[in-house]
Structure 1
Amino acid sequence: MDLLPDDLLADVFRRLAPCGLAASRCVRKAWCAIIDTRRLLRADLLPLRLDGFFCLGRILHPPPCFFSRRPSPGRQQVAGGLDFLGTRDAMDLHIIDHCNSLLLLDFGRLVNPTTRQWARLPSSPHPSTGMEDFYDNYGLVYDPMVSPHYEVFLIPTVPARLGSSSRFKEDSEWPPSPYSTHGHVFSSRSWRWEERSFVLEGGVAVATIADMMLPDRQNFERHTVYLRGALYVHCQDDSVMRINLLNDKFQMIKSPLESEVVGEDDVLNLGKSEKGVYCALLWNDRWPHCRVWLLNESCDQTEWALKSNISLQAVGAKLSLFCSE
């Protein structure tokens, strides 16, 4: 195989199944370069398998619990322990964001539980003048099928109160255009924070600062979702910001909630699968309910489609009975 020219090797690789092609990337650096340069591997065709997931407590913030499936014959079980970090403080293990098996923890630690490797990111620059009061969320971008490198985005959020030095007013448009991440984008390729800005598609903002100043939900964590070159950010008014990392543009997508009022104890989260981006609402009326929407991006107008509306009354009744015994 070493004597074959690159073009002929590429023709051979094109005839392989997606799993075989993905395995070929790991054989030699030269093969990996041929496959990646010609974009032969389609990550969306690879079989996806959930080997486990982390669960975080919302009140006491204990260490994250890892739930995994039973190991199948011939397949190595994934361990989710974070003991290799050498810390016993539960707050040090708090997961800020995650993406394709990588975890971003508090205090700027990037962790791969599978390989049990981790790195501490350099400190991010200070916010620009007038933005000191704007707290920042983090968004992690990592696609091992495209590149071994990852990026970390600092995403501004509106505080419950604006400081006297802020250049924004409550009736100011949010997000501003051109939207800026304050120059806070970390790249593992260069190992430093770099400036990067994004332009609002259409040029019209859909919210104001006042819309984002929701004191009851200021402390709720809003994770991001990365899928097919775009970063989806859960905003404070439950809208979604879709940042296209290929052309440095972003658009605002309205919340899937129409008449529903999300209370302080209700939970709205973003997620993804092979079909696209989902939004799930878990709320407690008389009995807990779960409602799930799928983001339809196949047409010119992006919209949410309701896929599930499930009552958890039976589960709640059984839990109440169990707790009373």
Structure 2
Amino acid sequence: MEDLPDELLAEVLRRLPPRGLAACRTICKHWRAAVDARGLLVAVAHLVPRPLCGIFINYVPDRSLRFFNRTTPAETSTQSSMDVTLSFLPGNLSRHRGVLEHRSGLLLYENGQAMYVCNPATRRWATLPPPPRVPPAHSHLPYYRRRLYLMFDPTVSLHYDVFFFPDVLDKQDLQPAGEPQCSAPEYEHERNSSWGSKEWPPCMYPLQVFSSRTNRWEEKPFIRNGDAAVTISDVSSDRLSPISSRCTRRNHAVFWRASFYVHCDIGFIMRYGRMLPSRTFVE
């Protein structure tokens, strides 16, 4: 085994179960380097059963954040290193605070006007700036944060992304640039009909994505696969739409097998093939 090239040794070790791979890493420096250089243990970390450490709960009445610990005596020493109060974050506690998202140990946390991505176990944190294209009606309100989603998969990369899902198109967006405003009833009816009949999601769906690699927001287009699920009129008729200014309710999302699933308006699911080069999604 000592004479094997590094690439071949890594391929052999890659086929071991997590416990065996961890044991092989301790045999010699050569094997440890082969495991660490290719991130072999990180790639199989999701296969190792991990107990539930606890849960964060946002209490709406008093706008407080609580952590309910679930540990055994053997785990107490490990859990004591976690700062579940998030006291390592800067600033004073605001009345408006809570966990917006969590993914693989990272938290997306809001405290007043500030937002942070942090790790309670390592106490590392970074400030998240607001998206550059926040709807004007919500620029001074935190409602738009209900449309922020954290993406983090440590088996692929130690960097994270934050996705911002925009509102449906506004009626003003349908008016060509330079065309004068017209308030005639017949024109308004035609414009409303044109606006409501548009497909949702559109064929080209631009999302704003913040990457920890670049530390900035960028607009990235996603291409729709298949037919549209609904129309804008359908979305607008949903009085509990989480991407509507009428409601601050948040719909949730999960990351599973290299795809991102988002529960969208009026009950349909959108799948984002984030790991695909084309960055496509299907409903």
Mark yes or no: TM-score above 0.5: yes
Q: Which residue number corresponds to residue 244 of structure 1?
A: 273
Tell me how far apart the structure 1 counterparts of residues 220 and 170 of structure 2 sit (CA, whole Å): 25
Tell me how far apart the structure 2 counterparts of residues 194 and 22 of structure 1 sit (CA, whole Å): 38
Q: Tell me the secondary structure at the aligned position of residue 228 of structure 2.
A: coil
Greater CA drift, 74-83 or 149-158:
74-83
Please list the CA deviations of residues 133-177 of structure 1 after superposition, one character each: whole Å capped at 9, or x if unmatched.
79561111111122111111111234xxx7552338122211111
**Cα–Cα, structure 1 residues 124 and 4, in superposed 2: closer, same or farther, change >3 Å?**
farther
Tell me how far apart the structure 2 counterparts of residues 239 and 163 of structure 1 sit (CA, whole Å): 21
Q: Which residue among 143, 147, 152 is the counterpart of 2:153?
A: 143
Question: Could you tell me how far 1:246 is from its partner in structure 2?
Answer: 2.1
Gaps of 5+ in 1: 253-325
Q: Is the 8 A contact 1:96 1:223 kept in 2?
A: no
Are positions 1:207 and 2:230 aligned together? yes
Q: Which residue number corresponds to residue 85 of structure 2?
A: 81
Gaps of 5+ in 2: 139-143, 175-193, 242-246
Tell me how far apart the structure 1 counterparts of residues 152 and 161 of structure 2 sit (CA, whole Å): 7
- The structure with the larger Rg is 2
Q: TM-score, normalised by structure 2?
A: 0.71
Structure that is richer in helix per residue = 2
Q: Which residue number corresponds to residue 113 of structure 1?
A: 120
Q: Tell me the secondary structure at the aligned position of residue 164 of structure 2.
A: strand
- 1:226-305 correspondence runs (5 A): 226-247=255-276, 248-252=279-283
Question: Could you tell me how far 1:249 is from its partner in structure 2?
Answer: 1.3
* Identical positions, percent: 37
Q: Tell me the secondary structure at the aligned position of residue 234 of structure 2.
A: helix
Q: TM-score, normalised by structure 1?
A: 0.63
Q: Is the 8 A contact 1:94 1:105 kept in 2?
A: yes
More contact order relative to length (CA 8 Å, sep ≥ 6): 2
Question: Could you tell me how far 1:187 is from its partner in structure 2?
Answer: 1.4
Question: Could you tell me how far 1:242 is from its partner in structure 2?
Answer: 0.9
Q: Is the 8 A contact 2:171 2:195 kept in 1?
A: no
Q: Which residue among 104, 108, 119 is the counterpart of 2:108?
A: 104
- 1:3-82 correspondence runs (5 A): 5-11=5-11, 13-14=13-14, 16-19=16-19, 21=21, 24=25, 31-35=35-39, 41-62=43-64, 64-73=65-74, 76-77=78-79, 79=82, 80-82=84-86
Tell me how far apart the structure 2 counterparts of residues 215 and 222 of structure 1 sit (CA, whole Å): 14
Q: Which residue number corresponds to residue 198 of structure 2?
A: 172
Tell me how far apart the structure 1 counterparts of residues 280 and 22 of structure 2 sit (CA, whole Å): 30
